[in-house]
Amino acid sequence: MKLAGKVAIITGAGSGIGRATAQRFAAEGARLVLGDANDTVRETAAAIGDAATALIIDAGSEADVARLVATATDRFGRLDIAYANAGISGGLTGLLDHSVADWDAILRVNLIGPFLLIKHAAPVMMAASGGAILCTASVAGLRSGAGCPAYSASKAGVINLVQTAAQQLSGTGVRVNAICPGLIQTGMTQRAFDYAAEKGVTARIGRLNPLRRAGQPAEVAALALFLASDEASYVNGQAIAVDGGLSSSHPVTRQETGKTAA
């Protein structure tokens, strides 16, 4: 029970990584306030039971994020963990095809959203002498090639935001870290999986990473649990990839041991 007695906020908890993390946190003893723009967040909370409260929220709205934090403190009397996981992908739009509206929408949810959760959660945690803040970034934020331009830029911003927040919260006991998923099978990526199945090329999904497969939300949730727990008490200001090894190399013609070049 690594999170026994702790209270956590998770955004984007209606499906995918957010739902898997909510389930894992609950199994480890946490009480939860779950937010999502989709009413499927109520299903996540219902499956967990009395330990979870669901709110329909816009992760890029300051009023909604403040309401999440207030709900945690009003219902449970404390806040130990805040996970800014909500995000939108932006599809496959090319750089010259992006509109300003595309950028506005993606940055508002993906980058301003994490900023808002840090802004409102950190003071509560500081008053209690510590806590853990997590943000979902992406391997697309580490280098190009894993997402559309606006999405990639937003996730690069999340990584820098986490580093900056860790520094500016020095001495408060509040840790801030980012998780950088690679190709994870979620609602956001399901179109690619469906397309591959339709074309009979499912085996090719994830072939660019050394594990040669896609990841599952539970595998990201496992890292989130570690970073949220006291076991990660000396981990701060980091961006950790969960990507099967994809980000360990620039694109190359791979030379594998005992095999000819791929």
In 108-216, which ranges are continuous DSSP H helix?
113-127, 149-168, 190-199
d(Cα 113, Cα 245) in Å, to the nearest integer?
Answer: 28
Q: What are phi and psi of 23, to 5 degrees?
A: -65, -40
DSSP assignment string, 52-77: EEEEE--TT-HHHHHHHHHHHHHHHS
Q: How far apart are CA 251 and CA 239, in angstroms?
A: 21
In whole angstroms, give the CA distance from residue 244 to residue 214: 8
Catalytic pick from 83, 151, 195, 234?
A: 151
Tokens of 147: 């997402």
DSSP state letters, 19-40: HHHHHHHHHTT-EEEEEESSTT
Residue 98 in tokens:
């992006």
Is 151 tagged catalytic? yes
Active site residues: 151
